[in-house]
């Protein structure tokens, strides 16, 4: 059981606190309720761009990293379709440095034309290196565009195309910041060897006087139910042929999310999973075969990715995967499989929650989903899933007319 406290400032900032006396460190985690789904379809990539801009310095701290390192700390950040997450880890006695730095970049972030131009160049280079000039780098772009027709999940976090970042004006970029980066649009968690009273006092000192902003209204289009299979063939001069599947599934707030997560485990988590036992061990068709879920707030995707051995016929490999999926639907999940992977989830959670930094991030995650206590409730939710739930969800998710499939590789015509 993870114990925590919650305090809300008058400006709307939500502060979560977890005390851990076993460490002399502390993590400050900030999660802004903005991701790539909040972008305009003709100007994508801005949420990720701000992940970079937020480290470009502010009025009173022109060198964010240098100030934090001087206090013995480290930092990082990441962006998803749904949120943007920032964190600092440092000795507990120096926690105020992190509060000061986060406060100053929220109030006084350097958004000059020069600062924006520098970070745009960095992001454009990242786009080229990781997605355009890397084997299989465009696969996620292609799948997002194939699987979604309406919802903004149809473009990756990095953006739909380089031109969207390159052509974004400084005014557009500043407007995105002021529309989304606000004390009333984020959750903060302090986890480690700092008392609740000190965390509250520091939050009030450094954030209490920051005025809330009018956050941009989120009005996202609903993705229509898929009613026919979609297939795309992509010829690329890459080492091996691959097959990628995407099946629409529920979002993270839906009770069936837990069944979807367990289904992906039944297929590919560990040596007792079905893909490993029946396809990787018993055939020579695949060098890699994995199932996973996207973990998105809105209805997301169940993914299956297969990397084929050299010389394997891509249609035969697809038939083998389809047969295993059909067997899952026809024969159903066993009680043993269900309990095995529910136990695995709980063991993993218990291990991860030993870390004060992981707790900080998870508390923010669950708070934005609606209830920070989800960190304690989710393990029990996995045990509440029944075999009937698993089989019902499998039959709905793994429908042929709910699938998007991409054949990708040197032999694809």
> Among 170, 192, 207, where does a domain finish?
207
In a shared domain, residues 268 and 177:
no
Number of domains forming the structure of the chain = 2
**Neighbouring residues of 332: CB distance < 8 A, sequence distance ≥ 6:** 387, 390, 391, 394
- Rounded Cα gap, residues 257 and 188, in angstroms: 25
In a shared domain, residues 168 and 284:
no
CA of 324: how far to CAs of 34, 212, 213, 266, 386, in Å? 38, 52, 51, 11, 21
Helical H runs in 212-313? 257-268, 274
In a shared domain, residues 194 and 251:
no
Residue 26 lies in a domain: yes
Residue with tokens 């229509």: 224
In a shared domain, residues 160 and 288:
no
Closest to 111 measured CA to CA, from 67, 30, 52, 158: 52
Residue with tokens 């609606």: 370
Q: CA end-to-end span of the chain, whole Å?
A: 54
- The pLDDT of 224-228, averaged and rounded, is 97
In a shared domain, residues 72 and 198:
yes
Residue 217 lies in a domain: no
For residue 326, the tally of other CB atoms under 10 A from its CB is 12
pLDDT-based confidence at residue 336 (cuts at 50, 70, 90)? very high
In a shared domain, residues 325 and 182:
no
Instruction: Indicate whether 350 pLDDT > 90.
Output: no
In a shared domain, residues 298 and 170:
no
Contact 60, 108 (CB under 8 A): yes
Contact 402, 233 (CB under 8 A): no
- What is the reported pTM? 0.96
In a shared domain, residues 192 and 240:
no
- Rounded Cα gap, residues 222 and 219, in angstroms: 9
- Enclosing domain of residue 85: 5-207
In a shared domain, residues 270 and 341:
yes
Closest to 413 measured CA to CA, from 327, 287, 268, 315: 315
In a shared domain, residues 154 and 39:
yes
Contact 4, 18 (CB under 8 A): yes
**Neighbouring residues of 324: CB distance < 8 A, sequence distance ≥ 6:** 267, 274, 275, 278, 279
What CATH number does the domain containing 242 carry? 3.30.830.10
Residue 214 lies in a domain: no
Instruction: Indicate whether 291 pLDDT > 90.
Output: yes
In a shared domain, residues 66 and 16:
yes
Contact 103, 207 (CB under 8 A): yes
Residue 78 lies in a domain: yes
Phi, psi dihedrals of residue 254, rounded to the nearest 5°: -85, 135
Structure confidence by residue, pLDDT tens digits, 37-77:
999 999 999 999 999 999 999 999 999 999 999 999 999 99
Q: Find the largest Cα–Cα distance for the chain.
A: 65
In a shared domain, residues 241 and 315:
yes
Structure confidence by residue, pLDDT tens digits, 313-323:
999 999 999 99
């Amino acid at each position: 059981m993870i114990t925590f406290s919650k305090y809300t400032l008058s400006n709307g900032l939500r502060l979560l606190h977890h005390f851990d006396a076993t460490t002399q460190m502390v993590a400050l985690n900030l999660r802004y309720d903005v991701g790539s789904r909040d972008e305009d379809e003709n100007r994508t990539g801005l949420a990720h761009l701000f992940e970079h801009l937020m480290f470009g310095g502010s009025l009173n701290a022109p060198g964010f990293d240098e100030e934090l390192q001087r206090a013995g700390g480290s930092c990082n950040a990441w962006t998803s379709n749904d949120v943007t997450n920032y964190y600092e880890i440092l000795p507990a006695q120096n926690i105020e440095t992190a509060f000061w730095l986060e406060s100053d970049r929220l109030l006084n972030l350097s958004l000059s034309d020069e600062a924006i131009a520098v970070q745009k160049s960095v992001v454009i280079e990242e786009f080229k290196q990781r997605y355009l000039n890397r084997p299989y780098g465009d696969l996620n772009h292609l799948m997002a565009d194939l699987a979604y027709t309406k919802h903004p999940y149809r473009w990756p976090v990095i953006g739909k195309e380089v031109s969207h970042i390159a052509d974004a004006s400084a005014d557009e970029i500043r407007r995105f910041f002021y529309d989304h980066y606000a004390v009333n649009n984020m959750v903060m968690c302090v986890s480690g060897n700092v008392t609740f009273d000190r965390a509250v006092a520091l939050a009030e000192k450094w954030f209490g006087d920051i005025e809330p902003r009018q956050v941009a209204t989120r009005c996202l289009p609903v993705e229509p139910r898929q009613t026919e299979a979609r297939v795309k063939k992509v010829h690329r001069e890459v080492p091996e042929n691959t097959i990628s599947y995407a099946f629409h599934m529920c979002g993270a707030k839906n009770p069936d999310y837990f069944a979807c997560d367990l289904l992906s485990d039944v297929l590919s988590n560990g040596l007792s999973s079905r893909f490993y036992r029946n396809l990787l061990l018993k055939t020579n068709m695949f060098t890699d075969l994995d199932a996973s879920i996207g973990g998105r707030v809105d209805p997301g995707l169940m993914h299956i990715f297969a990397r084929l051995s050299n010389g394997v016929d891509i249609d035969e490999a697809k038939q083998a995967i389809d047969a295993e999926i059909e067997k899952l639907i026809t024969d159903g999940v066993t009680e043993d499989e269900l309990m095995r992977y529910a136990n695995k989830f709980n063991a993993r959670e218990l291990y991860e929650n030993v870390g004060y930094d992981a707790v900080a991030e998870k508390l923010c995650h669950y708070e934005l989903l609606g209830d920070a206590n989800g960190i304690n409730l989710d393990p029990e939710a996995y045990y509440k899933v029944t075999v009937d739930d698993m089989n019902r969800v499998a039959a709905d998710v793994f429908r042929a007319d709910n699938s998007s499939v991409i054949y990708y590789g040197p032999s694809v015509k």
